[in-house]
Amino acid sequence: MDSHPTSLRKPARGMIPGVKNVALDADLLRALDRREIEVLFQPQFSSRSGAVVGAEALARWKHPTLGEIGARDLFAIAERAALVAPLSRHVVARALEDAASWPEPLNLSLNITPEELGDPRFASDFAALIGRCDLAPNRLMLEITEDVLLRNLDQASAALGALRNLGFRTALDDFGAGFCNFRYLRELPLDALKLDKIMVDDIPGDPKALAVLRAIMALCRALELEIYAEGIESEIQRAAIISEGCDYWQGFLRAAPMKGHEVVALSQTARGQGHG
């Protein structure tokens, strides 16, 4: 990603059809100046207790005529307009402003882009940024996706290693959405693996999908990696991934992305609500 500490997003997948690029670029620049890009948080739940353990930060833009633009399209616009760096600075600042007031043990997950991990200064710059807020490094999970690794695996590994040495936690995000290169699990300094929604969509009805899930779970346990499941939308899915040993999950079943203060409120009401 850009050379500035983390932007909070999922990787861009495309552009918005039928919209003039130049107009969108100018709109985004104005939105940054006016602090109109907001950050929402997708709560994450403990499979064992049902408690909220943290949340993943996601960028959103409420465009005056197009309506809400999600993180993927937002960063696609920013990349074309050469605005990824200011967008990253804006979003991370807003996310940390909110999360700095969260009570322990709520954690914050941040998505890291290719440009960031490709910058040799990233680890030290990021540590300096976090040092200016009240959030301890061990309460931050830094998530990377496969597109980050395809650009320069050695550089990504070195940057993640430096971050882990500083106390940050790391996760491989959206596992199953791309090539599922198991080399990454062997060579990268990781704490967790996040299963993409596609890996749980057909669970438990599809025997092959369930067999794949079980194999990945066994591999993660052997590597001592925590396991997160994304995109949980039904009670059947939730029960299935928990029965197979998934540690944490997130999805619309219990919570859509929300404001930071709503995460705190949810964490208070969800305490002690175990789910099997």
Query: What ranges in the chain are assigned the alpha helix state H?
Result: 21-33, 71-80, 84-99, 114-117, 122-131, 146-151, 153-165, 183-187, 207-222, 235-243, 260-269
Paired tokens of 230: 């994304």
User: Is 116 tagged catalytic?
Assistant: no
Alpha carbon 171 to chain centroid distance? 9
User: Of residues 38, 56, 143, 230, which has the active-site annotation?
Assistant: 230
Q: Residues 6 or more apart from 113 whose CB is under 8 A from it? A: 1, 2, 6, 7, 9, 11, 75, 84, 88, 148
Q: In Å, what is the CA distance from 39 to each residue of 61, 110, 168, 169, 253? A: 9, 11, 21, 21, 21
**Under 8 Å between Cβ of 47 and 246:** yes
Taking residue 162's Cβ as centre, other Cβ atoms within 10 Å add up to: 17
**Under 8 Å between Cβ of 229 and 241:** yes
What residues are annotated to the active site? 230
